[in-house]
Chain A
Amino acid sequence: MLEIIPEAVKALIGKPLHHEDSEIVVESGYIYNTCAAVQNGNPLFWDEAVSNSISGGKIAPPTMLSTWFRPHHWRPGSEEECTPLQAHFDLKRWLQLPEAIISDNELRFGEPVRLGDRLHSYQVIRSISDIKQTKLGRGRFWVIDVVYENQDGEYVGTDSYTALGYVRNEG
């Protein structure tokens, strides 16, 4: 683990990173899978007449924002596992912290995500803490915002993660 945060890493705090378009278009299959996983019978996601009447057409559950940006586990030509939330994995590597967990998550929702949308996102490292000793190990907390827009440039939400990157305690 690095005892001092490199200046090159500090310089990236607050800068938009990793602009990307979602690999998948917003589609019904994942919406149904998500609702089924938590037995969510909200008719907005199941009943076309209700969704037409209330939200002007089928939409995705707001909390699915991050789902549209997780990469396929494998794709042709890839030589290693693709990782989501790239800034998080960048920080693990740059700060030499092999383990990490997400401790806090804040979501804010703008325009609804609609069937057929192809979303765009970028990531912003908001902060990196001093070294902390925790029950899991020694490491640092960091906050990363993922900002989402739709294909029309409308704001659809922000997913803000607080993570702990750490080296496990001995024993």
Chain B
Amino acid sequence: MSTKENPAPGYLDMELLRFTTAGSVDDGKSTLIGRLLYDSKAIFEDQMEQLEMASQRRGEEQINLALLTDGLRAEREQGITIDVAYRYFATPKRKFIIADTPGHVQYTRNMVTGASTANLAIILVDARHGVLEQTIRHSYIASLLGIPHILICVNKMDLVEYGEEVFEDIRSQFDPFKETLNIGDVRFIPISALKGDNVVDKSTNMSWYDGPTLLEMLETINIRSDADFVNRRFPVQYVIRPQREEYHDYRGYAGRVAGGVWKPGEKVAVLPGGFETTLEAIDTMTGEIEEAFPPQSVTFRLAHDIDISRGDMIVPVEQQPHIGQEFDLMVCWLSEKPMVLGGKYVIRHTTSELRGIIREVDYKVNINNLNENKEDKSVGLNEIAKIKIKTSKPIFYDSYEENHITGSIIIIDEGTNNTVGAGMII
């Protein structure tokens, strides 16, 4: 940590929390984000002016906080959010990145995208309507993508006279799904995004609720254990060969730690060859460091000069990942062109690229009621299925549940080069 005198107290010590928000247009999701930005003073005067102008043009009396997050012109015109938008704000405790995703049925792919990097998901429920199909859908996607923390915000409490029984009823409606969904940490908060109750400031209308406000929760939830500190994994991203006089024989393996804590002196193996050597040093531009852990980007130097290239993986000798060419995964299909059973695709997994064939569709998930459909094997846009893939070369993987980095792949169409699928290895 820096020993400098800090001009903006707390700022150099802040943690980063990434969260995603799901909910449909009518749940007041944009209003909630607008409220968080507004009450935490992340909205500037010129943005405020633009907002006032835009609200007036639409003939609205109050400032429409939802307009803040509707970025692209097409969205402003149609009044819907069509893509993932990222927003930023900070309090003295944390910096936040919001992946704001639309909640319509057809935009599952955006929600999956936003969820893939999140520590936490906020799911909005309209207090008047309770737990709906889409609440289950959003919760399922959050659990599928392995988001460790879920906050269910029961919104529009002002429209149900801030009634405690409404809130408790919704909480119990959700109970039966908790187990099916396999989510560790679910919390509920009664809020009104429009009026500001329990968002940043504690509500004076709901004395029966003695829990933290939404912002307090976002500031304090423990996210340190979210990364994989069990399985040590280091995918080689780039081989550094300076070819300069003073570093003539230097050879370093650059990458981002995907799991575990690494220290110089340890025995390591390099996959796929399996060659064993010692981790000699961990380099950065500012000097060697004593240990490296997720999500740091560093450079490994090894004791032996072996032939290592991008896509190889450095692992401990005694704790190796699975190595195989055929594996099962949950896939979310992201393209309008349906998945082709038996079709060939490009697969990207950590830093390696290889070819793969879709071998089997085991079942499709109906994400509205979580039923498995084993009859219908066609997988189209926004659908989620369990499939089997065979790759042209072995990959080194862990289950997605254990490690999000070594357990995830993307599927690319060979003709268009588009990213068409997102896979989580089982």
Do A and B form a real pair?
A: no
Residues of B within 8 A of A (CB): none
Residues of A within 8 A of B (CB): none
